[in-house]
Amino acid sequence: MPLVPPLSPNYDRETKQLAEFFNETLGFCPNSVLTMQRRPAISKAFINLNKAVMANEGRVTSALKRMIAWVSSNAAGCRYCQAHAIRAAERYGSEQEKLDNIWEYRTHPAFTEAERVALDFSLAASQIPNQVDDTIKQRLYEYWDEGEIVEMLGVISLFGYLNRWNDSMATSIEPGAVESGEKYLGKHGWKPAKHA
């Protein structure tokens, strides 16, 4: 059972309109947003931040942003966010080979060196204590410009918030996210756990 249960999608009209964004990204409005709307200022601010952070601005593609989110959520251990991130990566055109081998991004040939660096940055920035160091910085600057690094850290930070929110709240995971989690992450032991 979640700490605080989600409300109806019709609870707050403005949140409902903004949340249509998630119908594209996930195919449903997340229960996390439906819980946030108990304080509509939080749900609306979160959705607007999510839209800004996840916007495709160029080389940090929508699919790569979702893979960055998955690595960050995996480091934090949030199964709810792991499933959401992999589902969104799939919906935003991530290649099948990358989805099937996300756990092996460091060595699998489907990933470019630029992607490996971005995903290593996500892992380092998501750990406690933080592991971003001069080596990560140097590697990032070999492949990415400062604006792109800001985009990546925006995703990592957004999912830091979501990982804390959903694991603390024990947010109930939606059937579509369960399906994606089982399909791409199940072979490595992914289960909804407390989010069931």
Each residue's pLDDT tens digit, 131-147: 999 999 999 999 999 99
DSSP state of 188: G
For residues 18-39, average pLDDT? 95
The reported pLDDT for the residue numbered 178 is: 96
Each residue's pLDDT tens digit, 78-132: 999 999 999 999 999 999 999 999 899 999 999 999 999 999 999 999 999 999 9
Distances (CA, A) of 7 to 37, 39, 50, 119, 174: 7, 11, 20, 34, 14
The reported pLDDT for the residue numbered 94 is: 92
For residues 10-20, average pLDDT? 94
The reported pLDDT for the residue numbered 37 is: 96
Q: How far apart are CA 75 and CA 108, in angstroms?
A: 19
- Burial (CB count <10 Å: 0-12, 13-18, 19+), residue 1: exposed
Q: H or E segment at 13?
A: helix 13-18
The reported pLDDT for the residue numbered 67 is: 96
Q: List, in order of start, the domains of the chain with CATH numbers.
A: 13-189 (1.20.1290.10)
The reported pLDDT for the residue numbered 109 is: 98
The reported pLDDT for the residue numbered 123 is: 98
First to last CA, the chain: 8
- Give residue 118's identity as a one-letter amino acid code: A
Residue in 85, 63, 47 with CA at minimum distance from that of residue 185: 85
- Coil, helix or strand at residue 145: coil
Each residue's pLDDT tens digit, 44-77: 999 999 999 999 989 999 999 999 999 999 999 9
The reported pLDDT for the residue numbered 49 is: 98
Percent of the chain with pLDDT over 90: 93
The reported pLDDT for the residue numbered 106 is: 97
The reported pLDDT for the residue numbered 77 is: 95
The reported pLDDT for the residue numbered 50 is: 97
